[in-house]
Amino acid sequence: METEVQSESEASLIEALKRRDSTAYQKAVRDYSPGMLAVARFYLDHSSAEEVVQDCWVTVIDAVQKFEGRSGLKTWLHRIVANRCKNRLRAANREVATDFSETLEPELANRFNSTGRWDLPPKLQFHESADTLLENGALSDCLDKHLSSLPETQRSALMLYEAHQHKSDDVCNILDVSASNLRVLLHRARQKIFLMVETFQETGEC
């Protein structure tokens, strides 16, 4: 997990953003926008989410002057996006609808018998090294496809936690979910990816 301590490169990027260096903005936009978009997509549809991320970057130009580095730059940017999205939803009187009632994906739940033992246990053992798995371009494409079809709430939680390596507390704060609900979101999303990789390994098909 990444710590909140700023690296030297992050500190110099922040200084450059404060100086309003346009090259620094171009780099920051490329480094941080995917994560910001993942946060916004938790709350909003695709085009509204893109709009919010664009607006946030304009806000950042002034707001970064007061950035004191109490959190990392990434966490700070993600919070700005989340707050803006929450304001939008409040203005529209909408809330994010999420089902936290089931911890098991139906497809996995059906693989146990009535005594709670496996009826259809996992047959193959996945290769442990992620890098080795990802060398298979078709699997990587399949992963992209499945990630994009996850419910936005699960995808955002998964992206922030796994890919952008936020701590649980930060993800809860940014997405405004309780710790127990975050656990459900993450577990449901991981199960879907597990089922996808399993099918891919067994059949070679996505």
Partner 1 sequence: MLMCRDLAEIASDYIDGELNGRQNLSVKIHLMMCKDCRTFIGNLRASSNLLSAHSSGKADEEFLRRIDERVAEALSVRKNNGSDSE
Q: Is residue 147 within 8 Å of 201, Cβ to Cβ?
A: no
Q: Kindly state the smallest distance separating residue 93's Cβ from partner 1, in Å.
A: 28
Query: What part of residues 111-170 is at the interface with partner 1 (CB under 8 A)?
Result: 112, 115-118, 121-122, 124-131, 133-134, 140, 143, 147, 158-159, 162-165, 168
Residue 50 to residue 45: CA distance in whole angstroms: 9
**CA–CA separation, 61 vs 46, rounded Å?**
24
> What's the min distance (Å) between Cβ of 92 and partner 1?
23
Nearest-10 Cα torsion for 147, 151, 153, 159: 0
One residue of 6, 10, 16, 29 binding partner 1 per CB under 8 A: 29
For partner 1, what does the binding mask look like between residues 32 and 61, x meaning CB under 8 A?
-xxx-xx-----------x--xx--xx--x
Distance between CA 91 and CA 151 in Å, rounded? Answer: 23
What would the DSSP string read from start to end of 20-73? Answer: T-HHHHHHHHHHHHHHHHHHHHHHS-HHHHHHHHHHHHHHHHHHGGG---SS-H
- Could you say whether residue 68 binds partner 1 (CB under 8 A)? no
Contact residues for partner 1, defined by CB under 8 A: 20, 22, 25-26, 29-30, 33-35, 37-38, 50, 53-54, 57-58, 61-62, 65, 103-104, 108-109, 112, 115-118, 121-122, 124-131, 133-134, 140, 143, 147, 158-159, 162-165, 168, 183, 186-187, 190-191, 193-194, 197-198
